[in-house]
Structure 1
Amino acid sequence: MNTLWEFLSMQDANVRFVTFGSILLAASSAVVGCFTVLRKRALVGDAVAHAVLPGVCLAFMLTGEKNPIVLLIGSFITGWLSLVAIDVITTKSRIKEDTAIGLVLSVFFGIGVLFLTSIQHSGNENQSGLDKFLFGSAAALVGQDLYTFGAVAVMLLLSVILLYKEFKLISFDLAYARTIGLPVRRLELLLTTLTVLAVVVGIQSVGVVLMSAMLITPAAAARFWTDRLGIMIVIAATMSAFCGAAGAFVSFTAPAMPTGPWIVMILSFLAIFSFIMAPKKGLLARYLLQRRIRRQMMRENILKTLFLLSENTGDYQHSYSRQQIMDRRKLPLLKMQDGLRTLTNQGLVLKSPAGWALTESGKKEAQRVVRLHRLWELYLTEYLQVASDHVHEDAESIEHVLTPELEKRLEELLDYPTADPHQTTIPKST
């Protein structure tokens, strides 16, 4: 980032404006993209991104010049037409929405490429740079282009700020929004319009082909870091703005490198990092949680086995060897040894030359697990009419996740039972 700032400080005002314009376009697209992702409309954004190309080409063919306002209007019209086409195909035929999106995307983009090829062979000297709409180019954002697209980007951000609560409500609970009298249809129409505008202003930086990535990737990555919409929007906008600045930096320092692919590539790296390293929802966090749960289940199974071995005699301080534990319950040897070591360190079992025995606290914990197991077996037989010889496996899993609140509820439903379906005593609560 310091290198980028030094680079900007050495350039003229136009270069700085272009870079800041790329940042603004990227951030505004990411903000609108958050609502697109939450409303499960990601593929629609992709269709609109490809559908704006024929609008850009038609606007140029009709006027013969690259007026940014005219190009914006043309791309907005065809973007809207693509949404209308998707809606008509979905409602008037048996074609599903995903199929309709694929049809509209390919047809509109194909027409756009056809128009662009025609323009390239027309000999119009003003066509120079028009092909940048395919992959984007920060260098093409100059003068009037920057002011026009920048103004639209600011309008997008202000619209989201002013209608944040309404957009949040229709994104999470459409039925409640209708119940309290919100103009849901108008709000959906406005949000769709903002999505089209976000695509229109963003194609100058990343191009038609990759615009959907600019719209969706920051929001998808930010979703891994938080469950709050406000924070998600800030993270997505910050991430996208950084990538926009980095992509513009690469485009300026290496003119042969198009802006769009670089912005999307950096965004992709940040997204992959988020998917893996996010503290609660990332793959690493989920793996560590699953491993912790598996180890906890192993320790509870060991405690339960020691309790069952001693249940008939009532001598819970009796020590049992590793082989005796294995004979009672088949456990992976290495994991069982690790579990015994951890339980010993926690003071739940006591190691002696004869083997391992439950301590008083270990007995209470084992008794809790056995109690939950037998309560659940009884619940399955009495309320779900499951045969008593088919309830053990299910109880083996559920016993590790039942909370004290559910345990109390089970007791009340079963009228404080003393025996399970196999007429085995249910231990009392400690």
Structure 2
Amino acid sequence: MIVSHSISDASMALPSLEQIVRVFSLEDYNTRVVVLGVMALGTASGLIGTFLLLRKRALTADALSHATLPGIAAAFMVMVAFGSDGKALAGLLLGAFVFGCIGVLGILGIRKTTRLKDDAAIGIVLSVLFGLGLCLLRMATELPTGSAAGLSGFIFGKASSMVASDALIMAGVALGIVIVTIALHKEWTLLCFDEKFGAVQGCPTLLLDVVLMAMVAIVTVIALQSVGLVLAVAMLIIPAACARYWTTKIITMLMAAALIGCLSGWLGAVASALVPRMPTGPVIVLICGFWFIVSFVFGPNNGLFIRQLTRIRLQRRISLQHILRAMWEVCEDTQSSSFTIEDIVYVRSWSKRAVEKLLRRCAKQHVATREPNSMWRLTEKGSAEASRVVRNHRLWEVYLITYADIAPSHVDRDADMIEHVLGRNLVSQLEELLKATDIPKSPHAVGTST
């Protein structure tokens, strides 16, 4: 038996197992309708939002969503003037789409005909049309022949009022956007990454831009009932932003964004059905936000965890190369194959504890070994790696002294900033330029500049 909740009940009781099974199995008609609608919306938003994000027009969606408000109010007043109650969803969405297109044309027109940038154009269109929408909405509420009480639902969304025809419209629009995306994804990709090159190649960049913005307007319009005009931008941007952290390939990014949007819509609809009085739109956006946090932290493409791991690995590699160069130069200076920890400390002015830690790492990687008399020496593997590091460092030092006119007493630190990223091609060019066949001598006293 499903427990019913009264309107005055503000409790947040946990759902029973029977309720969970019923919701996930989509037994209820309203649940099926809402889930289908928001999943279609999430798929369409992810696809179009990807190009919007790559086009660097994330705020355009926000401007378009706010631009739909005067369209809704104007459509309501027009329908009331023709004797209707003004609540026909198709008419309201048509009005929203018309004003969304006006917003698109306004942004493109300002950007193309003035010196103002995208952010200024978006700010102008957003504020003017939203202000117009508030005025028209106020006028609509004072009409004697119609009730505008339900229009405020488009501001924050009201997915629970969705019926089967609404869900079918969303599904049809999503299917159309999938088809258009498949047909134009190459052209839109060129538009996003190199618009000028596309124009030179004869690509109709302005037309493609208008079509893309029209698709954004359509997605924004169908998002009004489920998430509202305030949160519509989240459905367009967050799934695409999540996908950006998982791949660098445009096709994979499109599929990932569509999947994240679809999954967020499904989970949001299910969660709002399980928890009484939990609005569907905000829950969907919160789930999108959760996926973004996961992607931001763990995404393999420049995610926070990967960045930190890469930075740690780089620092460890640099510190290992530093100690290898120090060991090589100490042996070179003393004409001995063995050295003590104190020798490294004296030459480099590092702490004894830091040197001991680095030498233990060297021993684990078999590039240095400790002898019975507390002496250390490079292994054959370590000697080869150390000679390579020293050679690259000194080649760059000689280059800077010869061609950049840097004093020998200051060149060590400058060379140290670049030696760790010298590739084979650059080293070969340095060898050819400096006519170097062996390890050059140090242009300064060892250890005086580090």
TM-score, normalising length from structure 2? 0.86
Displacement of 1:27 after TM fit?
1.2
Displacement of 1:417 after TM fit?
6.1
CA distance in 1 between partners of 2:383 and 2:193 (Å) = 47
Given candidates 363, 367, 370, the residue that maps to 1:344 is 363
Whether the 8 Å contact between 2:63 and 2:122 is mirrored in structure 1 is yes
**What pairs with 1:28-427 in structure 2 (closer than 5 Å)?**
28-64=44-80, 65-122=86-143, 127-254=148-275, 256-315=277-336, 317-321=337-341, 323-331=342-350, 333-352=352-371, 353-416=373-436, 419=440, 422=443
- 3-state SS in 2 of match to 1:163: helix
CA deviation map 1:179-218 (0-9, x unaligned):
4332222222211211111111112211111111111111
User: What percentage of residue pairs aligned between the two structures are identical?
Assistant: 37
**2:25 corresponds to which residue?**
9
State the AA in 2 paired with 1:414: L
- 3-state SS in 2 of match to 1:347: coil
CA deviation map 1:219-277 (0-9, x unaligned):
11110000011111111111111111122223334453222211111111110111011
Displacement of 1:325 after TM fit?
1.1
Displacement of 1:297 after TM fit?
1.0
CA distance in 1 between partners of 2:254 and 2:200 (Å) = 26
Q: Find out whether 1:26 has 2:42 as its counterpart.
A: yes
User: Which 10-residue stretch deviates more, 271-280 or 332-341?
Assistant: 332-341
Question: Can you give the 5+ residue segments of structure 2 that lack an aligned partner in the other structure?
Answer: 1-16, 81-85
State the AA in 2 paired with 1:286: R
CA distance in 2 between partners of 1:224 and 1:258 (Å) = 29
CA distance in 2 between partners of 1:99 and 1:296 (Å) = 46
Displacement of 1:280 after TM fit?
3.8
CA distance in 2 between partners of 1:382 and 1:98 (Å) = 48
* CA gap 1:104/1:273 in 2 versus in 1, 3 angstroms: same
- 3-state SS in 1 of match to 2:349: coil
CA distance in 2 between partners of 1:4 and 1:351 (Å) = 64
CA distance in 2 between partners of 1:306 and 1:338 (Å) = 14
Question: Can you give the 5+ residue segments of structure 1 that lack an aligned partner in the other structure?
Answer: 426-430
Whether the 8 Å contact between 2:66 and 2:129 is mirrored in structure 1 is yes
State the AA in 2 paired with 1:337: E
Whether the 8 Å contact between 1:33 and 1:215 is mirrored in structure 2 is yes
CA deviation map 1:70-127 (0-9, x unaligned):
2222112212222333344445555443133223212222222333343344466653
Displacement of 1:410 after TM fit?
1.6
CA distance in 1 between partners of 2:115 and 2:188 (Å) = 30
**1:428 corresponds to which residue?**
none
Whether the 8 Å contact between 1:295 and 1:339 is mirrored in structure 2 is no
* CA gap 1:5/1:28 in 2 versus in 1, 3 angstroms: farther
- 3-state SS in 1 of match to 2:140: helix
Displacement of 1:311 after TM fit?
0.8
* CA gap 1:19/1:124 in 2 versus in 1, 3 angstroms: farther
CA distance in 1 between partners of 2:355 and 2:165 (Å) = 71
State the AA in 2 paired with 1:357: R
User: Which 10-residue stretch deviates more, 213-222 or 179-188?
Assistant: 179-188
Whether the 8 Å contact between 1:135 and 1:258 is mirrored in structure 2 is no
Whether the 8 Å contact between 1:55 and 1:75 is mirrored in structure 2 is yes
* CA gap 1:333/1:288 in 2 versus in 1, 3 angstroms: farther
Matched pairs, number: 422
User: Which 10-residue stretch deviates more, 102-111 or 54-63?
Assistant: 102-111
* CA gap 1:292/1:421 in 2 versus in 1, 3 angstroms: closer
Whether the 8 Å contact between 2:157 and 2:226 is mirrored in structure 1 is yes
**2:3 corresponds to which residue?**
none
- 3-state SS in 1 of match to 2:369: strand
CA distance in 1 between partners of 2:413 and 2:89 (Å) = 67
State the AA in 1 paired with 2:345: M
Whether the 8 Å contact between 2:199 and 2:205 is mirrored in structure 1 is yes
* CA gap 1:4/1:136 in 2 versus in 1, 3 angstroms: farther
- 3-state SS in 2 of match to 1:130: helix
Displacement of 1:341 after TM fit?
1.0
* CA gap 1:4/1:166 in 2 versus in 1, 3 angstroms: farther
TM-score, normalising length from structure 1? 0.90
Displacement of 1:136 after TM fit?
1.3
CA distance in 1 between partners of 2:338 and 2:28 (Å) = 84
User: Which 10-residue stretch deviates more, 410-419 or 199-208?
Assistant: 410-419
CA distance in 1 between partners of 2:169 and 2:200 (Å) = 39
- 3-state SS in 2 of match to 1:312: helix
**CA RMSD after TM alignment:** 2.5
User: Which 10-residue stretch deviates more, 224-233 or 394-403?
Assistant: 394-403
Whether the 8 Å contact between 2:38 and 2:269 is mirrored in structure 1 is yes
Displacement of 1:333 after TM fit?
5.0
CA deviation map 1:41-71 (0-9, x unaligned):
1111211111111111111111132323322
State the AA in 1 paired with 2:363: T
